[in-house]
Amino acid sequence: MKAMILAAGRGKRMMPLTETMPKPMLKINGKPLLEHHINNLRQAGITDIVINLAWQGDKITEYFGNGSQFGVTITYSQEQAGGLETAGGIIQALPLLGEQFIVINGDVFTDYDVTSLMQLHLQAGEAHIVLVENPAHNPDGDFALSHLSPDSQKYTFSGISRYHADFFKGLSTGIRPLGPILRERLSEYQVSTELYLGQWDDIGTPARLDEINQRFAL
């Protein structure tokens, strides 16, 4: 199975740290976020990885190359300046990903073990997303657990998911966010969910990045 790490975002909220550096290259415990993801995927047995690029993408290719030094094979999906949003980036990369694949946001920090995602069997057109408890910056959450009423407690989308390629069938390339697609397909029972209660942080601001690094310094 292949995995895609989303790394094309501009990271404006992380300025000035992202003025000359893509957000997934910011370091936690001395290593870029992307390196943590790659190590976790390799340990789970996934060694074929696609990374999409836009803002300062050359910094990523210079550091990781073809992935051989990290025990993986990396293919890059270059996007237009400004990127294509999450769904747009996935759709462009579909020819590189195969029938079923895992997607991880490059700007989160987590110990989630994707082995559980690898064991799922999705039917054509289905998706599975991982939810987490709501952080302070997203108190209202994004999605209810799929087996509950849409009016039930909502949780935050972790940016970790698995898709059957047909989930994006009929959607044209271009700038396209993922959230509206997930909401529509959840209502059509094409998306399953799980709630993860382990380590997960959204590296959305310099303060959050500092807070996580301080944990490792203790």
Domains of the chain: 2-217 (3.90.550.10)
Looking at residue 133, its pLDDT comes to: 97
pLDDT band at 11 (very low <50, low <70, confident <90, very high): confident
pLDDT-based confidence at 9, cuts 50/70/90?
confident
- What confidence tier does 150 reach under pLDDT thresholds 50, 70, 90? low
Name which of 211, 202, 205 is nearest 17 in CA terms: 205
Alpha-carbon distance 106 to 94, whole Å? 18
Q: What percent of the chain has pLDDT over 70?
A: 99
Band of residue 196 on the pLDDT scale cut at 50, 70, 90 = very high
What is the predicted pLDDT for the residue at 37? 98
Exposed e or buried b for every residue in 24-50, given b needs 16+ CB within 10 A? bbbebeeebbbbbbbebbbebebbbbb
Report yes or no on whether pTM surpasses 0.85: yes
Mean pLDDT of 97-108: 97
Asked if pLDDT for residue 198 goes beyond 90, the answer is yes
pLDDT category, 97, cuts 50, 70, 90?
very high
Higher pLDDT, residue 17 or 126:
126
The rounded distance, in Å, linking the Cα atoms of 41 and 72 is 9
Beta-carbon contacts of residue 201 (< 8 Å; ≥ 6 apart) = 108, 109, 110, 135, 208, 212
User: With 90 as the cut, is the pLDDT of residue 156 above it?
Assistant: yes
> Of all residues in the chain, what percent carry a pLDDT higher than 90?
85
- 25, 59 in Cβ contact below 8 A? yes
Mean pLDDT value of segment 74-101: 96
The candidate with the shortest Cα–Cα distance to 57, out of 77, 40, 74, 73, is 77
| pLDDT for the residue 40 | 97
Assign 40 to helix, strand or coil: helix
Give the pLDDT score at 89: 97
Least confident of 27-36, 107-116, 147-156: 147-156
